[in-house]
Amino acid sequence: MGWTLGCLRTIAFAAAACLAAGPAVAESVPFTCTILEDSMSVRITVSNPAGTARSCLVSCRFATPHWGGESQIMCAHMVPARAKDIEMCTKTSGGVKLLKETHGSADCIRR
């Protein structure tokens, strides 16, 4: 089967639109991963200094007495433009005591 002219134009237009949009790039942003008083829950906050809403992902790792000594908790949400210390989520560890934060990162997608 051959390609029709209309089909080829649609493909060319879609390719041009993707190229014009540019690549999405992850940018590190300020965040906090706070172990709550019960030592089994975490509150994750993030800031988005950009002038547009962006999709953000925060990952926090904690030392635990189980699971090989480490547990990871993640949150992902849209964050409003110029938001500061927005609570992304509060999550439990699944009943495992969290001892201290060992690593964390936060990135928001920008175009």
Query: Which domain covers residue 47, as residue numbers?
Result: 23-110
12 located within any domain: no
Model confidence at 5, in pLDDT bands (50, 70, 90)?
very low
Look over the chain and give the mean of its residue pLDDT values, rounded to a whole number: 85
1 located within any domain: no
Model confidence at 68, in pLDDT bands (50, 70, 90)?
confident
3-state secondary structure the chain: CCCCHHHHHHHHHHHHHHHHHCCCEEEECCEEEEECCCCCEEEEEEEECCCCCEEEEEEEEEECCCHHHEEEEEEEEEECCCEEEEEEEEEECCCCCCCEEEEEEEEEEEC
What's residue 89's pLDDT? Answer: 96
What's residue 1's pLDDT? Answer: 46
Model confidence at 110, in pLDDT bands (50, 70, 90)?
confident
58 located within any domain: yes
7 located within any domain: no
CB neighbour list of residue 97: distance below 8 Å, 6 or more residues apart: 39, 40, 64, 65
Reported as a single tens digit per residue, the pLDDT across 17-60 is 444 456 778 889 999 999 999 999 999 999 999 999 999 999 99
What's residue 22's pLDDT? Answer: 60
What's residue 18's pLDDT? Answer: 47
Number of structural domains in the chain: 1
CATH of residue 45: 2.60.40
